[in-house]
Amino acid sequence: MSTTHPLSLIQQPVQPALQKEPHLQHHPGQTERHESVPQISLGQAEQRVRTPQFSFKRLSLFPLCLLCLLLLSACSKGEEIPEPEPPVVEEVTELTLADPGATAETRALYANLWLIQQSGFMFGHHDDLWYGRKWYNEPGRSDTRDVCGDYPAVFSVDLAAVMDERHNDPENAIRRRVIIEAYNRGEVVTACAHLNNPLTGGDAWDNSNKQVAKEILTEGSSTNLKYKGWLDRLATFALNLKGSDGKLIPVLFRPYHEHTQSWSWWGSSCTTQAEFINLWRFTVTYLRDTKKVHNLIYAISPQLDSVQPRDQLLFRWPGNEWVDFLGMDCYHGLNPVTLTTNLHTLAALSRELKKPCGVTETGVEGIQRNGVPEANYWTQQILQPFTGQKVSMVVMWRNKYDPSESGSHFFSVFKGHASEASFLQLFNSPLSYFSDDLPDMYQMPDEFRVK
């Protein structure tokens, strides 16, 4: 998904935080991350707070939640949704990353992504800490927090402007700030990259030339040298991205996302299978081996908008040793059957390959059906399909800054939207993880190993 956003600023006060009952059981000697969610200044955002270790207490609430949602399903539109499997904790204690030199925090995050999906899913939102429907660049502000009193567990951002001709954009300083803010609270950071076309000079949607990947892969060509320069900038950014603890911030990086689609210069209409696979491997090799970047988790994210078989998730698969995370971008409209079916396939592949998985983009523009707000969106279209699935996250696309509300380019809740009550049901579900629910994502779980 893509769009640009205005550069104008607006200042509004941060709303007082709401209270939420903790999901996790706290053991003796451990402390709450927050007694409440206070207003946060930029200085306070630099202070990272540790959180409790992971607990599976949430699983005891699963049967009741599942029963309620199945009853809700039976009373809805009569669609038959595949019955989810019972929540069996995977007996996996060892995972493998594409980067054997990954930092300790990166390996710990990877392990925790796997563990999280055994009991629930993290809620995420693109650019949530940067701008919202009616505000822009207010440190500590969040559309999600305005509604429920807590931040998303996953913060999504686009790093293309760090890499290509836009690298001097002053907004890159905001990108860096909000990533650090998320990490310092213990949240998960994921990044896509709508990169400009390095051959034609067009944007990411310029699919007019089918030679782009070929030219990038031609050693010594002008496009190859330009693209290496773009990767150099990403490496510099990643290697200088540190939290208040002085550690490099791990990023779940999704290069060449939605490659199953034809809209981009790296997509299905502009590259061959061999070119895409080689482009992926070239990117990983250059960042990992040449630039010594060891705080990236490499996520592939095909787009599935209709029910698709397992093979579509493996479309142009670079190889098990080149991919860490199984993402899936889903713009399927108001169709929980499609999402549920594809989630089932995604989770099965995750178990098979022993790689964590998640929905890395989704949403319905305007959260509406035929112009009418979908008041039950979060319970019927998100919580119900995710119940019983072993999927680590769901990340909503962005809420465009639009203080006059002249358009409807938003994909998540904000204060005043008709779906607020439904969102609070999602928030209060024992299956959903928001910021305050997270274990210490950057501490390796006991008896777990990531190679």
Please name which of 302, 229, 319 lies closest in space to residue 266, comparing C-alpha atoms: 302
Residue 10 counted as domain residue: no
pLDDT per residue as tens digits for the range 3-26? 433 333 333 333 434 444 444 432
* 170 alpha carbon, distance to own chain's centre: 24
Helix, strand, coil shares of the chain, percent, nearest 5, are 35, 15, 55
Please name which of 442, 447, 451 lies closest in space to residue 112, comparing C-alpha atoms: 442
**CATH code at position 178:** 3.20.20.80
In this structure, are strands 368-369 and 372-373 parallel, antiparallel, or unpaired?
antiparallel
Res. 337: pLDDT tops 50:
yes
Vertex 181 angle, CA 24 and 164, to 5°: 130
The residue that leads in pLDDT, 88 or 157, is 157
Residue 311 CB neighbour total at 10 angstroms: 9
Residue 437 counted as domain residue: yes
Residue 36 counted as domain residue: no
> Is residue 428 within 8 Å of 21, Cβ to Cβ?
yes
Residue 256 counted as domain residue: yes
In this structure, are strands 357-362 and 325-330 parallel, antiparallel, or unpaired?
parallel
| Enclosing H/E stretch for 175 | helix 171-184
What is the per-residue pLDDT for 64? Answer: 44
The confidence band for 91, taking pLDDT boundaries of 50, 70 and 90, is confident
Res. 279: pLDDT tops 60:
yes
Res. 215: pLDDT tops 70:
yes
> Is residue 69 within 8 Å of 429, Cβ to Cβ?
no
Tokens of 434: 């928001």
How much is the average pLDDT of 409-416?
Answer: 98
Please name which of 214, 243, 256 lies closest in space to residue 50, comparing C-alpha atoms: 243
pLDDT per residue as tens digits for the range 348-392? 999 999 999 999 999 999 999 999 999 999 999 999 999 999 999
What is the per-residue pLDDT for 92? Answer: 83
Q: In terms of pTM, does the model score above 0.75? A: yes
Residue 12 counted as domain residue: no
Alpha-helix runs per DSSP H in 264-397 = 273-285, 310-313, 336-353, 377, 384-386
Res. 63: pLDDT tops 90:
no
Q: Tell me, what amino acid is at 278? A: N
- Mean pLDDT (the chain) is 87
Residue 188 backbone phi and psi in degrees, to 5 = -100, 135
The rounded distance, in Å, linking the Cα atoms of 138 and 41 is: 9
How much is the average pLDDT of 329-358?
Answer: 98
Residue 44 counted as domain residue: no
User: Which residue(s) pair with 97 in the sheet?
Assistant: none
Specify the number of domains making up the chain: 1
What domain range includes position 439?
A: 53-80+87-450
pLDDT per residue as tens digits for the range 128-170? 999 999 999 999 999 999 999 999 999 999 999 999 999 999 9
Residue 30 counted as domain residue: no
Q: How many residues does the chain have?
A: 451
The rounded distance, in Å, linking the Cα atoms of 257 and 236 is: 22
Residue 368 backbone phi and psi in degrees, to 5 = -145, 160
86-100, 176-190, 317-331 — which is least confidently predicted?
A: 86-100
86-90, 249-253, 397-401 — which is least confidently predicted?
A: 86-90
Residue 3 counted as domain residue: no
Tokens of 365: 């523009």
In this structure, are strands 251-253 and 296-300 parallel, antiparallel, or unpaired?
parallel
Tokens of 94: 């060892």
Res. 50: pLDDT tops 80:
no
Res. 403: pLDDT tops 90:
yes
How much is the average pLDDT of 95-102?
Answer: 99
Alpha-carbon torsion (46, 255, 304, 208), positive or negative: positive
The confidence band for 204, taking pLDDT boundaries of 50, 70 and 90, is very high
